[in-house]
Amino acid sequence: MIIQTEIRVISDRSNLQAEDADLLKVAHNAALQAYAPYSQFRVGASVLLADGKIVSGNNQENAVYPSGMCAERVALFFASAQFPNTPIAKIAITAIGNEVELSQPVPPCGGCRQTLLEYETKFDKPIEIIMAAEKGDIYVVKSAADLLPLSFTKKTMNNEQLTINN
């Protein structure tokens, strides 16, 4: 068995679709407002809902680290709380470094990948993930399932056939 993930690399930001450029701008603005007094690593995420609404979130740190929250989950949970029946079409993620201008795209952590997959499963629709830094290449993945090819979902708990996501 071979499992592969397709990542589209956009080297020239002027080649971004206008919708994706706007989504990244909202994510960047959210990162500017992040509460990151400990790591100084500010992350922003913006979610495009199927009806065209955009919501955003940023990382929220706490002196007791497990009590903080990643930007992606802040944005996803807000979207689900405010618009529980509206599918999520895309999420853009970006970060701002403290002392160094970041040039590598910022991927979601494992917990955020699982949360993205949960919303894909809920609506039975892929969520496109756009990952960027302050400069450099932008990575685009068609679905959270592409980032978790051997995923744990409701089907796993129901002992249904394992599906390889790719």
In this prediction, residue 165 carries a pLDDT of 52
Q: Is residue 57 helix, strand or coil? A: strand
The pLDDT tens digits of the residues spanning 83-111 come to 999 999 999 999 999 888 999 999 999 99
The residue extents of the domains of the chain are 8-145
User: With respect to CATH, is domain 8-145 assigned 3.40.50.10860?
Assistant: no
Q: 106, 90 in Cβ contact below 8 A?
A: no
Q: Are 75 and 47 in contact (CB under 8 A)?
A: yes
**106-158 per-position pLDDT tens digit:** 999 999 999 999 999 999 999 999 999 999 999 999 999 999 887 777 777 77
Does the model's pTM come out above 0.85? Answer: yes
Q: Which two tokens stand for residue 9?
A: 């690399």
Q: Is 72 a catalytic residue?
A: yes
3-state helix, strand, coil in the chain (%, to 5): 35, 20, 45
pLDDT tens per residue, range 4-57: 899 999 999 999 999 999 999 999 999 999 999 999 999 999 999 999 999 999
88 within 8 A of 50, measured Cβ to Cβ? yes
From 19, 61, 72, 128, active-site residue: 72
